[in-house]
A and B are shown apart, each in its own frame.
Chain A
């Protein structure tokens, strides 16, 4: 397993995406939300993707936004998680306070769907959330989602294909709003989820955040990366491409100590690099994911970013036609020269019988 730092930022975002599919109104970090009537309900999401010792820790939250019934989302994951447990109490809030003195709203979610052919690798219930780790292609996931009451938006077939070509692991989250009410959850209450994913291939799903949105609709989310060293990102957050680098510095001792003290956060190292990437663009802009290389090599994967697919062939248009014609010209001239030389050669001297 490669020791890339941020293998699973994508998980957090993916989880948010999963939220898009359920009908109730919780919001998932980095995901899209879809109600039973097909209405999309997205809120800003905050997600932590930490990568240390070859393991990605994805911490996101599903926020109760009122309503009743069921709500869901689907999030693509970079690998098969070893555990899905309730997240710490203050990790996400503490991260926000670290980069913004006035805690902003956070949370967006996304959802997904799966089909009958999907394999359920893990099912976990956390508070009012029913979480299912799925393995399958886009058709399998779509069928599973439909069979479980998810209504997929019209862009889901293409988006599911986009992810399934690179990783066929998805996290479906179903939020039971009635159960949330009975538990006494108030509007805005979030249920943090901590997903642990051994991976050598960290990335954060961003395109899934635009699921169910029209091209001009805005997508907003905050993605925190906690890695051993400053990561190289692809695409580079320029602000003009819908993602913006809001923070990049060595993590403070107090932050690391606070995070380390939260439930399930013992993995947080004593030193690290904190990066905050703000997603602030239109759905049409987010046609990619965020690839992360925290190894120090500085080579984030174009495949992880979704700019190319595994096994993609260089298009024929890459051939330089002028060079090809020039080469053919040289070959033609050479052949003509050889022919002329052969004709000019005296045949009298050639031994008979050759």
Chain B
């Protein structure tokens, strides 16, 4: 009798713990995950980032250089538009950020599963040609 009670109590505790974990996981699945990107000597580090689709991603971008930079993520059409754009500063859209010299910026973006692979580029004059290009991979299971 005492043995059955102990087993029952154990099972109950296990179920409670597992349920709690599951609920906790559900509660945090929409919390942003954080991705750090450093700009040094006019290059992005890392140059490739993998993020999950459908979940907010907070990018923490640190510019260690003594000159301004941009972090603009998007498809080919977005980048083509910025190559000839005239906006001196970007701060209106979370996917288009200006990071002044020696500063840090945070921006949160949720990517749709259809995003696939995109690029993040600095479109200040000469910066893209110098190598300020990174790849962002949006994956369902990432």
Taking beta carbons and an 8 Å cutoff, which residues of A are in contact with B?
Answer: 37-39, 113, 115, 138-143, 146, 151-158, 160-161, 212, 214
Contacts and interface: CB of A to CB of B under 8 A. Distances in A.
Contacts of A141: 66
Contacts of B125: 37-39, 151
A143 B101 contact: yes
B126 A142 contact: no
B129 interface: yes
B98 interface: no
A175 to B, nearest CB: 20
Given A142-B101, A143-B101, A146-B101, A157 B66 contact: yes
- Shortest 10 CB-CB distances between A and B: which pairs? A142-B66, A38-B125, A154-B42, A154-B130, A157-B65, A158-B41, A139-B66, A154-B127, A152-B67, A157-B41
Given A115-B66, A146-B67, A161-B41, 13 more contacts: A113-B66, A139-B66, A139-B101, A142-B66, A142-B67, A142-B101, A143-B101, A146-B66, A154-B42, A154-B126, A155-B130, A212-B126, A214-B129
Nearest to B40: A157
Nearest to B129: A214
A157 B132 CA distance: 13
A37 B65 CA distance: 20
B124 interface: yes
User: Which of A151, A154, A212 neighbours the largest number of chain B CB atoms within 10 Å of its CB?
Assistant: A154
User: Which of B101, B122, B126 neighbours the largest number of chain A CB atoms within 10 Å of its CB?
Assistant: B126
B126 to A, nearest CB: 5
Contacts of A143: 66, 101-102
B86 to A, nearest CB: 12
Contacts of A151: 125
A208 B109 CA distance: 39
Contact of A156 (B40, B67, B132): B67
Contact of B67 (A157, A161, A214): A157
A37 B126 CA distance: 11
B139 to A, nearest CB: 30
Nearest to A152: B67
A156 B66 contact: yes
Contacts of B67: 113, 142, 146, 152, 154, 156-157
Contacts of A153: 126, 130
Interface in B31-75: 40-42, 65-68
Nearest to B127: A154
A263 B135 CA distance: 58
Contacts of B126: 38, 153-154, 212
A39 B66 CA distance: 19
Contacts of A138: 66
Nearest to B63: A157
A145 to B, nearest CB: 8
A160 B130 contact: no
B103 to A, nearest CB: 12
A154 B66 contact: no
Contacts of B130: 153-155, 214
Interface string B9-39: 0000000000000000000000000000000
Given A142-B66, A212-B126, A214-B129, A157 B102 contact: no
User: Which of B67, B68, B102 neighbours the largest number of chain A CB atoms within 10 Å of its CB?
Assistant: B67
A351 B126 CA distance: 85
A224 to B, nearest CB: 31
B11 to A, nearest CB: 56
A152 B102 CA distance: 14
B62 to A, nearest CB: 13
A74 to B, nearest CB: 12
Interface in B72-124: 101-102, 122, 124
Contacts of A212: 126
A141 B41 CA distance: 15
